[in-house]
Structure 1
Amino acid sequence: MSKSFASAGDMEDKEISFTEIGEGLYAFTAEGDPNSGVIIGDESVMVIEAQATPRLARKVVECIRSVTDKPISHLVLTHYHAVRVLGASAYGAPEIIMSDAARAMVVERGQEDWDSEFGRFPRLFQGHEEIPSLTWPTTTFSDKMTVYLGKRRVDIMHLGRAHTAGDAVVWVPDAEVMFTGDIVEYHSACYCGDGHFADWGDTLSAIADYNPVAIAPGRGDALVGEEMVEAALTNTYDFVESTYRPAQRVAARGGTLKEVWDAVRAECDPKFADYAIYEHCLPFNVARAYDEARGIDTPRIWTAERDQQMWSDLQG
């Protein structure tokens, strides 16, 4: 195992795609880097996910301006992670929306997450000097809220715990399209370091109940068509279960973190080793799965120091 995090040496720029997934709906993707979404209404634009820095966010704005000159009025952040939220200042002064639970996580662990992610994934934080501060929502909701972009209705919902405790999804009823954040991934590893494995499957089922004809996932290509949507939901479920089941087995017999690591690799490597950011996510996924399997419901806060200790323990 390498002595540095798997993404520390990943410094090559990724090719950006801007894909229309419904009328006036777009997925901004970049070869497994964090995705953003765009909803164009009658009067204004909603963006889903800010990106990690203003520099990266401006790439999203450039794509938006290639299709509309309407103002950006709303920014939805599906969860609190630094790579999703710290580019918010590049969008002007939109209404910034998060779930109540996501805001609470900014309070509790936002700075620690920023410090931790900065060390893990340096390429995504190029231009970090422009980040003014932690990103705070101007509006929060508990279970569901509705925004009208002129006549276009957008529902923002918390369907359950999965990638984090505060995950939101964005549903556009007139097009039957959903933006899922990192609850759903496509040919990219799920990051489960703040996850809730036992709940994740139920949340995926709640998404499936909407029968979306297209999904903008958290990472990976836009999912257009029911066949692609179903494949991504099934595959995401398999990834989460294939990580958690071995951890449960090892924890039940009092095994160690390193034994969980070996068991998860044996289960996941044959199916997912070629996925984007697989090696990057794996140690954090293993550590969280081990904790949850031992009854630790609330994910422990990741800090730069804890990252290094965990990495050292797994190399032992």
Structure 2
Amino acid sequence: MAKAFASAGDLEEKEVSFTEIGEGLWAFTAEGDPNTGVIIGDDSVMIVDAQATPRLARLVVEKIRSVTDKPISHVVLTHYHAVRVLGASAYGADQIVMSEKARAMVVERGQEDWDSEFARFPRLFQGHEEIPGLTWPTTSFAGRMSVYLGNRRVDLMQLGRAHTAGDIVAYVGDQNVMFTGDIVEYHSACYCGDGHFHDWPGTLEAIRAWDVDAIAPGRGDALVGREKVNAAIDSTKDFVTSTYRSVAKVALRGGSLKEAMAACREVCDPKFSDYAIYEHCLPFNVARAYDEARDIDTPRIWTAERDAAMWAELQD
């Protein structure tokens, strides 16, 4: 029997957790679904990653209202992917912030990504009719910027390419806590279809160098304590390097994409097959690693049509 496309067969709602990872800092997680960070300042609240739809974003707002009645002033988007950004309208924030590179990627491939992810994640896009359109930032930056929520300072930084070319992290220095988006995952597969394999390990080490006390990763449980933080960085690095090296060996000798898929399974299945969205990510990861090994630096744009063709080619 053919495998269900991407996450099309994953229709069960996930159990939500809302975990405090520092004073006034929270991680909204849901068993491997995309996470959202919450930073409560003196006078307002910042959201880190918005969820896929206004319907899902309202679940985050419900949790926020259980701990504070302060208005939501900022939505920070760690990258451009539809499952992270299309719920932004539900927060009523005055400011939507992303990197200049991420904004450029919305211009270049935002609608294609929306169409692609809509087919991959039918459960996450329930209620999609409420989405008003592509999410555009009111503010963009290159390198680094600081946002003040009263006296609380949040540093937004580009530490390097990884999950996408436009990734940013949010760092709250008064608690030594970082929100990493999908640069770091915990017991969840990394989606590498728009990734940069050569750069990703170095970006992880740049995060490690901050020696933070807690991380809200892109997917998976909140990570409190340096032991958990470093274990998640290590496992993410292992996932990325294991994927790339196994595929690159095939690509560089002229082997086929399907041979690369088999080689990747041989290395990665024993270590990662129980990770959330592993089967979903694997074909996209192999295709991107195969391209990067052949010196295609910029990930090719995924469309609903390209998704389906690639999936059919790589499945048994």
Decide: shared fold, TM above 0.5: yes
Aligned to 1:212: 212
In the alignment, which residue of structure 1 is the partner of 2:270?
270
Other structure's SS at 1:98 match: strand
Separation (CA, whole Å) in 2 of partners of 1:170 and 1:249: 35
Q: Give the partner amino acid of 2:264.
A: V
Partner residue, 1:198: 198
1:51 paired residue number: 51
Q: What does residue 2 of structure 2 align with?
A: 2
Query: Following the alignment from structure 1 to structure 2, what is the Cα–Cα distance between the partners of residues 227 and 94?
Result: 37
Q: How far is 1:64 from its partner?
A: 0.5
1:82-106 superposed Cα distances (whole Å, 9 cap, x missing partner): 0000001100133000000000000
Aligned mates of 2:155, 2:112 — CA distance in 1: 30
Alignment length, in residue pairs? 316
Task: String of CA shifts for 1:9-67, please: whole Å, max 9, x gaps.
Answer: 11100000000000000000000000000000111100000000000000000000000
Residue 187 of structure 1 is matched in structure 2 by 187
Residue 115 (structure 2) aligns with: 115
State the alpha-carbon separation in 1 of the partners of residues 9 and 310 from structure 2: 19
Partner of 2:22: 22
Provide Cα deviations, 1:207-260, integer angstroms capped at 9, x if missing partner. 011101000000000000000000000000000001000111101110000010
Report the alpha carbon displacement of residue 3 of structure 1 after superposing the two structures with TM.
4.8
Shift in Å, 1:7: 1.0
CA RMSD for the aligned pairs?
0.8
- Give the counterpart letter for 1:170 in structure 2: A
**What is the Cα deviation at residue 4 of structure 1?**
3.2
Is there any run of 5+ residues in structure 1 with no aligned partner, and where?
none
For 1:109-143, what per-residue CA distance to the aligned partner results, in whole angstroms no more than 9, with x for missing partners? 00000000000110000000000000000000000
- State the AA in 1 paired with 2:16: I
Distance 2:286 2:111 in 1: 23
Partner of 2:166: 166
**Which residue in 2 is equivalent to 1:150?**
150
CA shift at 1:313, angstroms? 1.4
Secondary structure of residue in 2 paired with 1:68 = coil
Matched residue, 1:289: 289
Confirm or deny: 8 A CA contact 2:75 2:93 kept in the other structure: no
Question: How far 1:6 sits from its partner (Å)?
Answer: 3.5
Q: Report the residue type matching 1:4 in the other structure.
A: A
2:247 counterpart of 1:242: no
Q: Report if aligned partners of 2:32, 2:220 keep a CA contact under 8 Å in 1.
A: yes
In 2, the alpha carbon distance for the partners of 1:184 and 1:142 equals 21
Q: Which structure 2 segments of 5+ residues have no match?
A: none
| Residue type at the aligned position of 1:53 | T
Does structure 1 conserve the Cα–Cα contact (< 8 Å) formed by 2:247 and 2:264?
Answer: yes
Is 2:300 the counterpart of 1:306?
A: no
Counterpart of 1:48, as a letter, is V
Determine the structure 2 residue equivalent to 1:101. 101
Partner letter of residue 190 of structure 2?
C
Amino acid at match of 2:66: S
Q: Which residue of 1 aligns with 2:78?
A: 78
Mapped partners of 2:266, 2:3: distance in 1: 21
Distance 1:41 1:153 in 2: 8
Please state whether the residue corresponding to 1:155 is helix, strand or coil. strand
Report the counterpart of residue 88 of structure 1 in structure 2. 88
Equivalent residue for 1:256? Answer: 256
- Distance between the aligned counterparts of 2:93 and 2:203, measured in 1? 31
Q: Does 1:230 align with 2:230?
A: yes
Residue aligned with 2:198, SS: helix
Q: Secondary structure at the match of 2:19?
A: strand
- Given residue 220 of structure 2, which amino acid in structure 1 is its aligned partner? G
TM-superposed CA distance for 1:315, in Å, is 2.9
- 2-side partners of 1:2 and 1:119: how far apart? 17
Give the secondary structure class of the aligned counterpart of 1:207. helix
Distance, in Å, in 2 between the alignment partners of 1:179 and 1:114 is 23
Mapped partners of 2:34, 2:93: distance in 1: 22
